[in-house]
Amino acid sequence: VKSRQPSQISMAGVRKALSDLKEQQDSLTSQIEEIDEEIKEAQDQNYELEQTMLSLKHQETLIQQKIAATEKQEKAKLDKIEKLQAEHPNVEEASENLSTKSQNTDEKHDELIDELKEAQELATRNDMQYEELRKRLTHIEQNRDRIL
């Protein structure tokens, strides 16, 4: 009977060790799943930020195009004013009308410049968020790799 007891104790120890290993495996699996979920969330945020950056860059391009078009219109109007003044030196009313239009063009130009600055600031903030998210994703992936 005594010869069977060490074997039984040994089997009980093995069962306990297997049970402990199973618990550790379940815990690690749970941690991996949590980290994988964090990685997915970070990747989703990363994608959204990249899309926002692309949109902002597109908006910036459009605003720059509007600014260039406005500057071109302004130059054309100023040229027209000079031409009219040369052709009709006594016609002050036409000159004043074109000057008013030129001022409106200047105001529009200033508004577009302000929009461009706002878009650039937003793009800068998004760049910083993207970089922070990228660092976080790298850290999470390193933690996952360490656990695996």
Statement: the pTM of the whole predicted model exceeds 0.75: no
Q: How far apart are CA 82 and CA 77, in angstroms?
A: 9
| Structure-token match 């060490």, residue found | 6
Split at pLDDT 50, 70, 90, the class of 41 is: very high
pLDDT band of residue 5 (cuts 50, 70, 90) is low
Mean pLDDT of 63-87: 88
Residue 73 burial (C-beta neighbours within 10 Å; 0-12, 13-18, 19+): middle
Tell me which amino acid residue 61 is.
Answer: T
CA 32/CA 143 separation, integer angstroms: 9
The structure tokens 């964090």 sit at: 38
Q: Is residue 119 scored above 90 in pLDDT?
A: no
